[in-house]
Structure 1
Amino acid sequence: MQLFIGGTCAGKRSIVRQRFDTAVWHSAYIGCALKKWPSSAASTRCLVMEGWEHWLAARLADEPDDDGLRQAMAIELDALHAWEARSGGEVVLVMLEMGRGIVPLSAEKRRLRDLNGWLAQDAAARCERVWYVWNGLLKQLSY
């Protein structure tokens, strides 16, 4: 797996599209549910997963326990990693970096920000390569 992370409108999508031009995209931004990714993966060798902050936000109300929600999202990451190993395909994660900037006043938005940061850490730990995108520039963070 590879992780591309950066701020809003930093150029993540453009860079991923250039590098993985035949990938199938599974995106929360167009209403794809996280649990439905296996149907997207069935017909591809490269699956791009984006919109993790939306998938997290959708689960906040149903899961009051941060550790439980973090574990549930880690299970999704493990399933993607297993699909990659089983199929010989590649998973590309595109995640929004929310840790820079103003800390939200709302407890719910702070919780989302924290969970998104933990999710990014969990994703990075499972990925072979981690890339940071800022202003359309790409920097490899891990090997």
Structure 2
Amino acid sequence: MQSVIGGACSGRRQLAAQRFPCAGWHRLVKGEGAEECLAGHAGREVLVVDGIAAWLSAALAEIPDDDALRETWLRLLDGFVAAPCEAVLILDEMGRGIVPMDSAARRLRDHNGWLVQAAVERSRVAWYLRHGLFKQLK
């Protein structure tokens, strides 16, 4: 698995498209797991997965317990690690350390940060983008 991390409009998708021109692309949707995501792309060597922040936001609304939510996104990540193809996750960097006043927005940023950390830990390669510039961190 690989991770591509950056803020909105930082160039994450462009980097993935350049690095993996023959990859399949999948936008993760509400309630979907890695198995459902991968099922439509059998035989691909590389699958770029986008929409993880929106998927997480939907999961936050449905799963009030933080431990249960954490287990849900850990299962998602582990499913991509075990995939028969190289999964490339497009991940969002949120807020650059700014803490929102709204508790729901804080919860989203907290879980997104934890999810990104867990994804990078499981990734063999991690890219970080800012302002169109990228660096391989792992």
**Counterpart residue number, 2:114:** 118
Structure 1 unaligned residues grouped into runs of 5+: none
- Check whether the contact 1:26–1:32 (CA below 8 A) recurs between aligned residues: no
> Are 1:49 and 1:94, in contact at CA under 8 Å, matched by a contact in 2?
yes
Instruction: Give me the whole-angstrom Cα distance separating, in 2, the residues matched to 1:3 and 1:135.
Output: 17
Task: State the Cα distance separating 1:100 from its structure 2 match.
Answer: 0.5
What one-letter code is carried by the residue in structure 2 that aligns with 1:39? A
Give the letter for the 2:128 counterpart. Y
Call closer, same or farther: CA 1:122–1:14 in 2, change over 3 Å.
same
Tell me by how many angstroms 1:101 deviates.
5.4
Query: Share of identical aligned residues, percent?
Result: 46
Query: 2: CA distance between counterparts of 1:48 and 1:40?
Result: 13
Matched residues in 2 for 1:101 and 1:140: separation? Answer: 21
Q: Contact (CA 8 Å) 1:24, 1:40: kept in 2 or not?
A: no
Instruction: Write the distance in 2 (CA, Å) between the matches of 1:115 and 1:20.
Output: 28
Report the counterpart of residue 103 of structure 2 in structure 1.
Answer: 107
Q: Indicate yes or no: 2:29 matched with 1:34.
A: no
Higher mean alpha-carbon deviation, 57-66 vs 124-133, is at 57-66
- Per-residue CA deviations over 1:104-126 (Å, capped at 9, x if unaligned) read 22111110010000000110110
With structure 2 as the length reference, what TM-score do the two structures score? Answer: 0.91
Would the aligned equivalents of 1:11 and 1:135 in 2 still touch at CA under 8 Å? Answer: yes
Aligned residues: 136
Shift of 1:27: 1.1
Q: Which amino acid aligns with 2:117?
A: Q
Q: Is the 8 A contact 2:63 2:69 kept in 1?
A: yes
> Contact (CA 8 Å) 1:104, 1:110: kept in 2 or not?
yes
Q: Which residue of 1 aligns with 2:22?
A: 22
CA distance in 2, matches of 1:32, 1:20: 25
Post-superposition CA distance 1:27-74 (Å, at most 9, x none): 14xx57633302233141111111111011111122111121111111
Residues in 1 aligned to 2:2 and 2:25: alpha-carbon distance in whole angstroms: 14
Q: Distance in 1 between matches of 2:10 and 2:30?
A: 22
Q: Equivalent residue for 2:86?
A: 90
User: Is 1:141 equivalent to 2:131 in the alignment?
Assistant: no
- Does the 8 Å contact 2:30/2:58 carry over to 1? no
Instruction: Specify the SS of the correspondent of 2:72.
Output: helix
Could you tell me which runs of 5 or more consecutive residues in structure 2 were left unpaired when the two chains were aligned. none
